[in-house]
Amino acid sequence: MIRYRAFRIFPLAGAVLLAGLAACQPVATATEVTRLPAPAVDAAPISAGHDQVAVLAGGCFWGIEAVFEHVKGVRKVTAGYSGGAADTAHYEMVGSGTTGHAESVEVEFDPAQVSYGTLLQVFFSVALNPTELNRQGPDSGTQYRSVIFYGNAQQQKIATDYIAQLTRAKAFSAPIVTQVVPLQAFYPAEAYHQHYYDLHPDNPYIVFNDAPKVAHLQKLFPALYQPEQQFVEVQLH
């Protein structure tokens, strides 16, 4: 069995930090990439309206951010933290796994172009393995758990109904462990984490773990795929 070493390398305060050193696990049969059915329950299509927000977590936020930056109808994506307090929303603290935070992304989208349910369809199809508990691939810890942080009752219903739909259809060979919990707050991550996929395409971690997700999005959802990434300015906190 071939194993790879996956590195997460990024600058911090003029230095280079090496984090997330771990063996890249082989893909399990439960994560064979396939386009999952669309949610039977979704928000009604609208012709125009204000942008909406989805907050999702599933492993390292670099890959989740990269996937949704390539989805048509998405205005911007921000990497950050959800699930814990404001004073612990810092990478070094979140990495301890004791803050309650999960590495998350805030997806601002135009509901006239893409629905919340479609975002969840992409999320479960290509962005993560929803059967892995407190880990994704080479990353382990509660900060890498999969979570749908819903912002209102409609999002909660769409998410819970979709997980039930996928469970009934036996879309995965193991139970889905993705949590569906209310969004309390989202805290943008440090500036060096934003658009990491685009800025560091040769990083071995990106090559082995995240580039395949974007490729799968393009293959499985060609009508949704956009080659240009959407950028958002995020202040370092």
Ramachandran angles phi, psi of 93, nearest 5°: -75, -45
Q: Furthest-apart CA pair in the chain: how many Å?
A: 51
What is d(CA 80, CA 74) in angstroms, rounded to the nearest whole number? Answer: 17
Cβ–Cβ contacts within 10 Å for residue 26, how many?
Answer: 11
What residue ranges do the domains of the chain occupy?
Answer: 4-25+32-220
1-52 tens-digit pLDDT: 222 324 454 443 333 333 433 333 333 334 468 999 999 999 998 877 799 9
Torsional class of 225: left (φ above 0), alpha (ψ -120 to 50), beta (otherwise): beta
pLDDT range class, residue 229, cuts 50, 70, 90:
low
pLDDT, position 47: 79
Q: What is the dihedral of CA 161, 121, 209, 168, to 10 degrees?
A: 40
Using CA atoms, how far residue 206 sits from 75, 128, 171, 195, 200, in Å, is: 23, 14, 27, 12, 8
Quick one: average pLDDT of 180-199?
Answer: 98
Query: Kind and range of the H or E element at 53?
Result: strand 52-58
pTM: 0.86
- Give the residue from 235, 193, 225 showing the smallest Cα distance to 65: 193
Q: At residue 183, does pLDDT exceed 70?
A: yes
What pLDDT sits at residue 33? 86
pLDDT digits (tens, 9 = 90+) for 94-116: 999 999 999 999 999 999 999 99
Cα–Cα distance for residue pair 48/149, rounded to 1 Å: 24
Is 191's pLDDT higher than 60? yes
Q: Which of 14-28, 104-118, 125-139, 189-203 bottoms out in mean pLDDT, i.e. has the lowest?
A: 14-28
CATH 3.20.20.70 is the classification of domain 4-25+32-220 = no
pLDDT of residue 45: 84
**Non-local CB neighbours of 16 within 8 Å, separated by 6+ positions:** 9, 10
What's the CA gap between 83 and 181, in Å, rounded?
Answer: 9
Q: Are strands 146-150 and 52-58 parallel, antiparallel or unpaired?
A: antiparallel
Residues designated as active site: 60
In the predicted structure, residue 223 carries a pLDDT above the cut 70: yes
